[in-house]
């Protein structure tokens, strides 16, 4: 007897499953049973339509039951879970155990962080992409490789043991949005308590916000081309907004702007205490 996958999937989980099938090479991922297109007749005979019986009375529709998310303050739940985390391992487990964000259902991995936890600089991106979702680490795809080259140009490396020459990297969201879409405001608000606690535990000397989503979470503002290059404050620490590395693939001319921001970051790191 052939079995079929459950049909009570969330939208994000169903879309993730569809993307996975396409990655495997399925050209028409529609329907429960496989169909050999070569065996289909050119024309399908239309059966004679029987007389339409009188419609039966509709049964009484059950009263819908409210979902847990409809009656629970999910931000308050996230805030309480984050507050209990005394270590980075605790925080990672709290995020993994958080069940109120639908993005988790469609993700392969929870992407927590990478780099030196003792680094003076904490970089905050937006959300995992396909490569990050597969490997469970932030900034490992094409944009991440460019980021590593940019950091190396000013003497910074995520794997360096020296806190003055290393960085620590995290994202606003730990799970990949379907199709790499932009995170929604409700998703950012849900995960913000975990990000704030993440910053507290790392306790960096300064923060770099990469892109609009990071600025929306940490500053409550968007408009990265206007915000970038100017030091401000987020989570009680000096903060420098800059363009996300992925932006530089779409607009290579912006590399000059990011280079200016990296030089400003290096100058602040080298400044006397």
Q: Is residue 50 assigned to a domain?
A: no
**For position 150, what pLDDT does the model report?**
97
The count of domains in the chain is: 1
Higher pLDDT, 153 or 15: 153
Determine contact, residues 244/210, Cβ cutoff 8 Å: yes
Q: In this model, does residue 64 exceed pLDDT 70?
A: no
CATH number at residue 82: 3.40.470.10
User: Distance between CA atoms of 95 and 85, rounded to whole angstroms?
Assistant: 10
Assigned domain for 238 exists: yes
The residue among 23 and 68 whose pLDDT is bigger is: 23
**pLDDT tens string 210-231:** 999 999 999 999 999 999 999 9
pLDDT of residue 111: 98
Domain holding 81, by residue range, is 73-270
> Between β-strands 206-210 and 121-125, what pairing exists: parallel, antiparallel or unpaired?
parallel
Q: What is the pLDDT of residue 219?
A: 98
What pLDDT, on the 0 to 100 scale, is given for residue 3? 45
Q: Is 269 exposed, middle or buried (0-12, 13-18, 19+ CB in 10 A)?
A: middle
Residue 67: is its pLDDT beyond 60? Answer: no
pLDDT at 72: 87
User: Is it the case that residue 164 has pLDDT exceeding 60?
Assistant: yes
186 in any annotated domain: yes
In a domain, 193, yes or no: yes
Arithmetic mean of pLDDT, 77-94: 98
Higher pLDDT, 11 or 263: 263
- 266 located within any domain: yes
Which spans in 84-211 are helix H? 88-96, 130-135, 142-152, 185-202
> Model-level pTM?
0.76
15 part of a folded domain? no
Which residue, among 246, 190, 252, 183, has the nearest Cα to 215 in the 3D structure?
A: 183
Residue 65's pLDDT is 36
Residue 41 lies in a domain: no
Q: How high does pLDDT run on average in the chain? A: 86
pLDDT at 63: 39
Q: Give a yes or no: residue 202 inside a domain.
A: yes
């Amino acid at each position: 007897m052939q079995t079929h996958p459950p049909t009570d999937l969330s939208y994000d989980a169903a879309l993730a499953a569809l993307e996975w099938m396409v990655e495997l090479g399925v050209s028409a991922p529609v329907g429960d049973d496989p169909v050999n297109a070569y065996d289909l007749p050119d024309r399908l005979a239309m059966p004679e339509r029987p007389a339409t019986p009188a419609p039966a009375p509709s049964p009484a529709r059950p009263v819908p039951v409210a979902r847990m998310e409809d009656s629970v303050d999910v931000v308050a739940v996230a805030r309480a879970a984050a507050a209990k985390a005394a270590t980075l391992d605790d925080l990672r487990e709290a995020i993994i155990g958080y069940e109120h964000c639908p993005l988790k259902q469609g993700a392969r991995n929870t992407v927590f962080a990478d780099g030196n936890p003792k680094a003076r600089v904490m970089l905050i991106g937006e959300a995992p992409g396909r490569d990050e979702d597969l490997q469970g680490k932030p900034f490992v795809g094409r944009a991440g490789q460019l980021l590593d080259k940019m950091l190396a140009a000013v003497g910074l490396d995520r794997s360096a043991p020296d806190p003055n020459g290393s960085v620590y990297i995290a994202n606003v969201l730990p799970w990949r949005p379907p199709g790499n879409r932009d995170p929604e405001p409700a998703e950012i608000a849900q995960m913000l308590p975990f990000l704030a606690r993440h910053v507290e535990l790392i306790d960096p000397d300064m923060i770099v916000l990469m892109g609009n989503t990071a600025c929306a979470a940490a500053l409550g503002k968007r408009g990265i081309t206007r915000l970038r290059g100017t030091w401000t404050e987020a989570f009680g620490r000096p903060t420098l907004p800059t363009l996300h590395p992925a932006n530089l693939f779409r607009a290579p001319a912006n590399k000059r702007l990011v280079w200016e921001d990296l030089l400003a970051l290096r100058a602040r790191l080298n400044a006397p205490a």
